[in-house]
Amino acid sequence: MLKHFLARSLPALFFFAIGASALAAVPTFWRLESQEDFLAGDTDGVSIGSDGNISLSPAAQVLSEATDPHFWSLALDGAGNIYAGSGNDGKIHKIDASGESRVVVDTEELQVHALAVDRRGTLYAGTSPRGVVYRIAPEVGTREVLFDPDDRYIWALTVDSLNNVIVATGDEAKIYRVSPSGESELLFTSEESHIVSLAVDSSDTIYAGTEPNGLVLKIDSDGSTSVLFDTPFQEVPAIVTDTQGNVFVATIQSGTRATRTSSSPTSATSTSATTASGGASVTVTTSSDPIVSQPSPSTSSSSSARGAVFRIAPDGAAEQLWTSSEDTPSSLTLARDDRVMVGTGNDGRVFLVGPNKNSSLLLSAEADQVTAIQTAPNGQTFLATSNPAKLYRLNQGRRTEGIYQSPTKDTGTVSSWGRIRWEVRAPSGTTVQLQTRTGNSAEPDNTWSDWSSQYTDASGEQIQSPRGRFFQWRAVLNSTGETTPEVMNVTAVYLQQNLPPEVSDITIHPPGRSFQKPIVTTGQIELLGMADALSDGTDAGGNNGSQATSGPPPMNLMAMSRPMYNKGIRTTTWTAKDPNNDELSFDVHYRAEGESLWRVLREALTSPVIAWDTVAMPDGRYTLKIIASDSPGNPAGLARTGERTSKSFEVDNTPPRVDGLTTTPGSDGHRVRFVARDDISPVRSVEYAVNSGPWSIVFPTDGIADSSEESFDLELDGYRDGGVYTLVIKLTDGLENTATARAELR
């Protein structure tokens, strides 16, 4: 069953225009060639190497499939039998070398998260959520309790050289050592919530992984405990060791595997644990709240990775070998050539990770998670999966057929297709067949076209699938022997349907507001948007004709420009974008209120800004129309346009005036009356001064200056000493035009 991944965009390159409908002139080459590119697709029976080549995967055989949803654990005995612990029915399945499978024990628990076999072939099982370690007799199908601690979860089991069973638990995160006779010894109690993984090396040193702070603990044979590595993740679900003393750990950014059920919390306790040798005591205070529903907020990865694999050298130096933002590592085993095999979720993929940090996708299981991996002494590897519960055996040789399906490519619009070309290595006895399909829904469904017939010319062949927005290709690899074909890269060319550009957010700046260009080309003060084109080919916005305009770049220039006041200038800016990312040019038209004819103001601008000198225009209300065209990037006849009309605005270059100014002497001063008028805009303010003294504001008779005609009546005290005084009235309208009038006070 193929698993769907999200499509990703790849760079666009130059091509030619095709078809008679409106199409974008610049095509896109969609090329997949790296491991990262190919990992975004779906794999069935194929591997993806570190070099990015697709090949047939190792042959994998399903030995057993359970009705339970999960296989959580695996163990192998010396006779070639495989044991798998299940959930949510808590059963133990036995699968022999021939593939015959049967349930040997029903633990009557929900989960069997841990299995281990000692050197004598005795099988042990750890269960949850009651937390019991059973000794199993598979031949007779019986179980007996070896160890029943107070802990609710048995997360991991392993066996040391003396056939002692090492037990890792949760809610109280303890590590026990249990002898074959059932005598138990508490080795360590952690302040963590769970010990979720265990490993023992040849010297009986114990390694343990924790949750929620992702610690790797080390317990030496003398009982001393230390933190070997504080990982940048929250959980360490798997640990393995090699014969050179290296420790490999899988880490993830999430909580423990099983959903925990609630129980009554208990108070914090202080536990004294006696070590195996020397009788020294280790006392750790731990909070034993059994409900841990969220990861600890104190520890988080420094990146967006979902998980990683680290190698810890014998000197304690830790090195990250592999990481993924898509796959969550959940199981590990040692492979040949110093490599580590990593089982992951949530797409059931298995990776091979080398010491040089190269990794390959080995295979994809038909399951959500690869929960356990075990390698037998003869080199055979077994995989346990979850959702559904299956047991796989990796056999010698490769699959004879595999299918790789590319991610779905969203071209953004209904597109026409050019040619598809690919590069492969196909030794004798192998073939690679390529096919394509298209549709207009993001997820392929029955509305998509059928898979095309096979393409045969790797150097380039016209894509047969119909026009559409979404595109996908697949490669079918076949082999009749031990060799495998390889797909190294595939390139498909498409041409988007040309869509019209869009104009939005037209801003009419206040009258007189202008912006000095940050880069001066003439030695004079230059304004953004003021000139049509300069001698060096740069327009008034500061861009040259080769720069595509899909946003408002002049806004950045305006942020760097010095604002200025220039009487009569109206600066207008707008935002424009093109769905095909084509280069744009702009025409600006204007129309006076009451007129139906649009007149050209400016043409072929390459930046969305214009500074309009309105001094020579008649006063009145005007509207601008911005027309965006993608003609710079499309052939004649195929270009598209989009337009938007601005709100109307006033042009008023005529100052206001004073009518009927009279001054009447009185007993204490003078009474001044006049009317302030403006033909276009309201009278905004009125001030007066006497003999060049300070300006004083005066309000109209109705108390507020808000219309184009206002009456004023004011009393001026004084000026009765026989001198001559000059009264000056200053008017300012809404568009910053000013006028003055004068009178003598006698």
User: What are the residue ranges spanned by the domains of the chain?
Assistant: 28-57+402-496, 62-304, 502-651, 657-745
CATH number of the 657-745 domain: 2.60.40.650
More confident residue, 740 or 668: 740
Residue-wise pLDDT for 201-238, tens only, equals: 999 999 999 999 999 999 998 889 999 999 999 999 99
Q: Mean pLDDT over residues 641-646, rounded?
A: 95
Residue-wise pLDDT for 265-324, tens only, equals: 333 333 333 333 333 333 333 333 332 333 333 333 445 899 999 999 999 999 999 999
CATH number of the 502-651 domain: 2.60.40.10
Q: Mean pLDDT over residues 233-246, rounded?
A: 96
Domains 502-651 and 657-745 share a fold: yes
What's the pLDDT at 9? 34
For 633, the token pair is 């990037």
Distances (CA, A) of 112 to 132, 240, 376: 10, 20, 21
What's the pLDDT at 558? 58
Lowest mean pLDDT among 34-38, 109-113, 677-681: 677-681
Tabulate helix, strand, coil % of the chain (nearest 5): 0, 50, 45
Lowest mean pLDDT among 83-87, 152-156, 632-636, 640-644: 632-636
What's the pLDDT at 22? 56
Examine the pLDDT at 351 and tell me if it is beyond 70.
yes
C-alpha span between 408 and 403 (Å, rounded): 15
- Find the farthest-apart pair of alpha carbons in the chain and give their distance in angstroms, rounded: 133
Residue-wise pLDDT for 704-742, tens only, equals: 988 889 999 998 887 776 678 899 999 998 778 889 999
C-alpha span between 94 and 23 (Å, rounded): 63
What's the pLDDT at 374? 95
Residue-wise pLDDT for 586-620, tens only, equals: 999 999 999 999 999 999 998 899 998 888 888 88
What's the pLDDT at 12? 31
Pairing of strands 359-364, 349-353: antiparallel
For 709, the token pair is 């005609």
Please give the angle made by the CA atoms of 348, 351 and 356, to the nearest 5 degrees.
Answer: 160
CB 198 within 8 A of CB 206: yes
Closest by CA to 649, choosing from 677, 617, 627, 678, is: 617
What's the pLDDT at 39? 96
C-alpha span between 611 and 564 (Å, rounded): 12
Examine the pLDDT at 1 and tell me if it is beyond 60.
no
What's the pLDDT at 284? 34
How high is the mean pLDDT of the chain?
85
Tally the C-alpha atoms within 13 A of residue 728's C-alpha that lie toward its C-beta: 11
Q: Using CB atoms within 10 A of its CB, is residue 626 exposed (0-12), middle (13-18) or buried (19+)?
A: buried
Examine the pLDDT at 350 and tell me if it is beyond 90.
yes
CB 441 within 8 A of CB 421: no
Q: Mean pLDDT over residues 381-399, rounded?
A: 94
What's the pLDDT at 559? 59
Lowest mean pLDDT among 168-177, 281-290, 482-491, 641-650: 281-290
CB 546 within 8 A of CB 539: no
For 745, the token pair is 């006070």
C-alpha span between 491 and 545 (Å, rounded): 31
CATH number of the 28-57+402-496 domain: 2.60.120.260
Let me know if domain 62-304 sits in CATH 1.10.1740.10: no
pLDDT band at residue 664 under the 50/70/90 scheme: confident
Residues of the chain above pLDDT 70, percent: 84
What's the pLDDT at 338? 86
What is the helix (H) or strand (E) element at residue 555, kind and residue range?
Answer: helix 553-560
